[in-house]
Amino acid sequence: MLKNYLKIAFKGLIRKKYYTFISLFGIVVTLVVLTISVALMNQMATLGRPGSRLSRCLIVDRLESEFKRGNIISKPSYYMLDRYVRNLKGPEAVSIFSDAHEVIIYSASTRVPLKVRYTDDVFWEIAELPFIGGASYGKESVDKADMVTVITDRAEKQIFGVKPALGEYLETSKGTYRIIGIIPYKEITAPTLNADIYVPITTASGKMNNRELWGAESALVQAANRSQFASIKSEFQNHMDQLIKDFKDEKQLRSFDCFIGTMSESMANMVNQSETAYFAGIVGLILLFMLLPAINLTTINISRIMERYPEIGIRKAFGASSSALMGQFIIENIILTLIGGVLAYLLSGIILILINGSGVVPWGYIRLDTTVFFYCMVVTIFFGVFSGALPSYRMSRLHPAEALKGISR
Average pLDDT, rounded, for the chain: 80
Instruction: Examine the pLDDT at 43 and tell me if it is beyond 90.
Output: no
Query: What is the reported pTM?
Result: 0.72
pLDDT at 280: 61
Give alpha helix (H) positions in 271-409: 275-306, 309-317, 322-358, 370-396, 400-405
Q: Considering only CA atoms, which of 287, 213, 260, 360 is closest in space to residue 57? A: 260
Task: Give the residue extent of every domain in the chain.
Answer: 2-47+275-405, 54-261
Q: Report the DSSP pairing between strands 148-152 and 175-183.
A: parallel
Instruction: Examine the pLDDT at 316 and tell me if it is beyond 90.
Output: no
pLDDT at 88: 94
pLDDT at 409: 46
320-344 pLDDT tens trace: 676 777 777 777 778 888 888 888 8
Instruction: Examine the pLDDT at 78 and tell me if it is beyond 60.
Output: yes
pLDDT at 408: 47
274-296 pLDDT tens trace: 445 555 665 666 666 666 666 66
Give the three-state DSSP class for 307: coil
Give me the phi and psi of 189, to 5 degrees please.
-95, -15
89-123 pLDDT tens trace: 999 999 999 999 999 888 776 788 899 999 999 99
pLDDT at 231: 95
| In contact, 117 and 201? CB cutoff 8 Å | no
What percent of the chain has pLDDT above 70?
A: 69
Rounded-to-integer distance, Cα 149 and Cα 151, Å: 6
Instruction: Examine the pLDDT at 145 and tell me if it is beyond 80.
Output: yes
Rounded-to-integer distance, Cα 409 and Cα 403, Å: 9
Angle at 396 between CA 394 and CA 399, to 5 degrees: 100
What percent of the chain has pLDDT above 90?
A: 29
Instruction: State the Rg of the chain over Cα.
Output: 29
Give the three-state DSSP class for 163: coil
**3-class SS string, 191-214:** HHHCCCEEEEHHHCHHHHHCCCCE
pLDDT at 41: 73
Instruction: Examine the pLDDT at 195 and tell me if it is beyond 90.
Output: yes
pLDDT at 296: 65
pLDDT at 77: 92
342-377 pLDDT tens trace: 888 889 888 888 887 776 666 667 777 777 677 777
Rounded-to-integer distance, Cα 251 and Cα 309, Å: 80
Higher pLDDT, 128 or 251: 128
Higher pLDDT, 253 or 355: 355
Task: Determine the average pLDDT of the residues in 163-171.
Answer: 91
pLDDT at 34: 77
pLDDT at 177: 95
Q: Considering only CA atoms, which of 287, 301, 286 is closest in space to residue 384? A: 301
